[in-house]
Chains A and B, each alone.
Chain A
Amino acid sequence: DGGITQSPKYLFRKEGQNVTLSCEQNLNHDAMYWYRQDPGQGLRLIYYSQIVNDFQKGDIAEGYSVSREKKESFPLTVTSAQKNPTAFYLCASSQGVFIYNEQFFGPGTRLTVL
């Protein structure tokens, strides 16, 4: 089955710790994205990547970091610098970024900071 997987589904972290969220896709998509969703809110873009070894900041990149070493993988690290990291994190992918940017989402990871 083609799709996007995110792991883990639930993640707990102590304040001051970095944590890495996994995102893998087997859709052969070039572009990948990370969004943050807070309760009752829409989606806010954290980072995106058009191709391997390249990524750009989204609207709320502070306190987050990413890497894109493989086409299939786009992990997100939530650093201790992120002041309010408790949220639902969504990964998405699309064929490209400029046209026909139909983004397909993974199931999400809910991060809770204790």
Chain B
Amino acid sequence: GQQLNQSPQSMFIQEGEDVSMNCTSSSIFNTWLWYKQDPGEGPVLLIALYKAGELTSNGRLTAQFGITRKDSFLNISASIPSDVGIYFCAGQAQGAQKLVFGQGTRLTINP
């Protein structure tokens, strides 16, 4: 079945640093989604991508749909304490009825 590899699994950074994480797939996807989950809460959709090469921003967050359609990247600029949480990527292949989720990247920020 389809699998998503999300890396890194965890990140420990200083406040103000930039963050970069990515997801790679074993197959081609038509949709990439990025979510953030706070402890004990449901994931919140951050960015949705639908075209290869697409670059989309949401405030300090920027995500890209890889040209090969097998990967996606999420960058966070000038991190702040409220960025702490788990970030998930999710993808969907053409004709598929389900999203495939990555295992998540846990972001910890030292003030």
Contact = CB atoms under 8 A, between A and B. Distances in A.
Interface stretch (B55-63, B69-77, B94-102): B94-102
A110 interface: yes
B95 A90 contact: no
A106 interface: yes
Interface residues of B, number: 24
Nearest to B35: A105
Interface residues on A, range: 20 to 34
Given A101-B31, A101-B99, A42 B88 contact: yes
Chain B's interface: helix, strand, loop or mixed, by majority?
loop
Interface centre among B33, B50, B98 (most CB of A within 10 A): B98
Contacts of A58: 98
B111 interface: no
A57 to B, nearest CB: 11
A73 B43 CA distance: 20
A103 B103 contact: no
Interface in B37-76: 40-45, 48, 50
A11 interface: no
Nearest to B89: A42
Nearest to A98: B97
Contacts of B50: 100
Given A90-B43, A108-B41, A110-B40, A103 B99 contact: yes
12 contacts: A42-B88, A43-B43, A45-B98, A97-B97, A98-B97, A99-B30, A99-B31, A102-B45, A103-B45, A103-B99, A105-B35, A105-B43
